[in-house]
Chains A and B, each alone.
Chain A
Amino acid sequence: MQTLGLQDSDWLTTLPCRVMPYHDEWLGSLLLRCDEANCWESGETFRFLRRSTRHPGIGPRSSLIVAPRPILDCLAQCLMISREHLLATTYFTELARLYPPIWYEPSKEPDPRNLLGLHYRRENWSRRRELGPKEVAIERRIHLCPACIAQKRCIRRTVVLPYLQSCPIHHIVLQEHCPCGSPLSFFSQGRPPFVCDTCGLHWGQWPQTKTDSARVALENDLFSLYEFFLKKGTPDLRLLAWHLARHRIKETEELSLKLSGKTIKTQRLRRHPSLGYLVDILLSVGVSPDDITTDNTLRR
């Protein structure tokens, strides 16, 4: 990446300290590293981007699984890196390929709920007085791997994938709470980045609990399905996997989902499932990526 000198006009339009995304780093983690490198409070870069662009599609509880283009463009300018580098910190490209926009809205950005599921809280809902879908919607689980933080100050993009409970690299349980009991909060005003906003304990010092072997095996299968769809997935492949799953469960009336723990009626399966929901069903009926690529029954 280019080193900036004072003779470059970009000196004054970039952050005092520029940070590059690590491989497979999540956008939220990059923003926190920007805060740390620039001696700012946690979330200062995120709030600066929101104020700079005034884009309505991003809120303080945003999953940052996809980020609006104006926000990415502003950050790309501030760090003097390409938008492609920043897109790689989100699942924007992968979701756009898996769930292409409808023909009459070709410029529509991918919806994070295509990954998280329809029951998850939308990120740009405005506050309402009465109890509405926002209030009954499920909050996205946020967690992190203390070992990744301790080693590289990095939260991987993969930790935002639904149902994943352990780090695919370190095989330790992803933590949602500080040992003091306080829930994890990524952008807490008035606190330095990467620490608990209640007791100030560094996230890298949170307990590192090994995942049991049964869960490791399940998570490996889960991760390989996510990898398959996110790397190679297309709408056709998604549809093929869906039909394969339906084909396997056509004899049964009810299906117990391994990841979400729900029991669903097979007649009421959603026709356009989110990736999280699809992966849950595929894993529950024992469909692997190899099955999808080699199955010729449905292709015929």
Chain B
Amino acid sequence: MSDTTRRPPFVLNRVFLETAFERRFQGWLRHAWQNRSWHLIAALPGSGKSLGIHDLVLHSGAYKEATGTTRLPILAVCSPKNDVREQGLVSALSQAFGVLPTMSASFRRAWLVRMMAQTQVECIIIDDAQDLNLRHLAFLKELTDNLAAPPYQRSLGLCLVAAHGGNDVPFRATFGGPEVLWQQFHRRLDTENRYIIVPGHSEEELRPILATFEDLYRYQLPDLQLHRWTKPIFTWLTNPILDPDVTGRVAMDNLTKLVTIAMRRAYERGATDVDATILDEVANLMILRRNEITRTDDVPPGEKGPEQEAS
């Protein structure tokens, strides 16, 4: 038996990394939370928006005590995908509190306002906001207006977090429309920073991320020195196929894929570090062969068929 077959399977580390992008992105979310301001925050798909939201919410100090006190400072939900009615958003927001009995639509709307006031919600974050429709947006305005009115008198921060393409952000044209509703919505958005695009990672920002990857995977690849490959990695990941808007920035999802696939291949070949050949192979796979169809009789790596197990 060779060395490689004796090694245990490669283990992926899914820990949240506080990258430069996350610091920028979470910074804006915190700004909205602390100042109760409204923003539309856009970033490229795969930048790490959802992970950043999850991390912020987990550390927001939410709790449910057995004494009947519940606190949920940040109410973060994903935009409803299969319900175009405003009820879809009402359900998504309500269910973030926990298990609920069946309620009529009108009762649930009123209940949501009371519960948000009772649990001291301070900021609403809607992930995948590009999937919201105008009825959802109108409901968000109604909800925040109800909370701002007596007896609650609570002003809330609102972050619509959207994936964008090109140099524009979703809903900018809508909010700039002449209808009174959208004028009101536009007025509620932060005056200085209404629409924010949070860019991906620059070449300088890649280096500490690669150093962090080295620390995380060193117990599997003892001689790992990813930071040596910062420049070629940046060049590959800013290729127009992976960066169609030519932003010159790297999305975290692409970086993670490139690095982890390369590390797994190196590990499976018995190496203790990644080399230029492996990185080139993976970069080709992601850029040139990204739409390639795989026809194979093999089982996935790490899986064994029943015949192999029996033998």
Contacts and interface: CB of A to CB of B under 8 A. Distances in A.
B58 A78 contact: no
A39 B95 contact: no
Nearest to B97: A16
Given A6-B58, A16-B119, A38-B115, A11 B98 contact: yes
B62 A80 contact: no
Contacts of B95: 12
A175 to B, nearest CB: 25
Contacts of A1: 65-66
Interface string B41-63: 00000000000000001101011
A39 B99 contact: no
Interface string A14-49: 111111100000000000010001111000110110
A17 B97 CA distance: 8
A46 B169 CA distance: 47
B66 A81 contact: yes
Contacts of B66: 1-3, 18-20, 79-81
Contact of B98 (A2, A3, A15): A15
B69 interface: yes
B102 A16 contact: no
Interface string B95-114: 10111111000000001001
A5 interface: yes
Contacts of B101: 40, 44-45, 47-48, 51
Contact of A78 (B62, B69, B99, B102): B99
Nearest to A13: B99
B291 interface: no
Contacts of A40: 101, 111
A18 B63 CA distance: 11
Contacts of A4: 63-64
Contacts of A12: 95, 98-99
A80 to B, nearest CB: 7
Contacts of A81: 66
A7 B111 CA distance: 25
A138 to B, nearest CB: 32
Contacts of B70: 16-18
Given A6-B57, A39-B118, A40-B111, A16 B68 contact: no
Contacts, number: 74
A44 B99 CA distance: 13
Contacts of B58: 5-7
B68 A17 contact: yes
B14 to A, nearest CB: 15
B100 A16 contact: yes
B5 interface: no
A20 B67 contact: yes
Interface residues of B, number: 24
A3 B63 contact: yes
B99 A14 contact: yes
Contacts of B67: 19-20
Interface string A67-103: 0000000000011110000000000000000000000
Contacts of A3: 63-66
A13 B96 CA distance: 10
B65 A18 contact: yes
Nearest to A20: B66
Determine which residue in B60, B62, B64, B65 has the highest number of CB atoms from chain A within 10 A of its CB, and name it.
Answer: B64
B94 to A, nearest CB: 9
A6 B57 CA distance: 8
Nearest to A44: B101
B218 to A, nearest CB: 27
A244 to B, nearest CB: 44
Contacts of B100: 16
Contacts of B64: 3-4, 11, 14, 16-18, 80
Contact of A18 (B60, B68, B115, B118): B68
A149 B89 CA distance: 37
A39 B102 contact: no
Nearest to A16: B97
Nearest to B114: A39
Contacts of A37: 68
A1 B69 CA distance: 13
A88 B116 CA distance: 32
Contacts of B97: 16
Contacts of B99: 12-15, 78
Nearest to B74: A6
B174 to A, nearest CB: 32
A11 B95 CA distance: 10
B98 A39 contact: no
Nearest to B110: A39
A44 B107 CA distance: 12
Contacts of B98: 11-16
Interface of A: 1-7, 11-20, 33, 37-40, 44-45, 47-48, 51, 78-81
11 contacts: A3-B65, A3-B66, A7-B58, A13-B98, A13-B99, A16-B100, A17-B68, A39-B114, A39-B115, A39-B118, A44-B101
Interface of B: 57-58, 60, 62-70, 95, 97-102, 111, 114-115, 118-119
Nearest first, the 7 closest Cβ-Cβ pairs linking A and B are: A1-B66, A48-B101, A16-B97, A37-B68, A4-B64, A39-B114, A20-B66
Given A11-B64, A12-B99, A80-B66, 8 more contacts: A1-B65, A3-B63, A6-B58, A13-B98, A16-B70, A17-B69, A18-B65, A40-B101
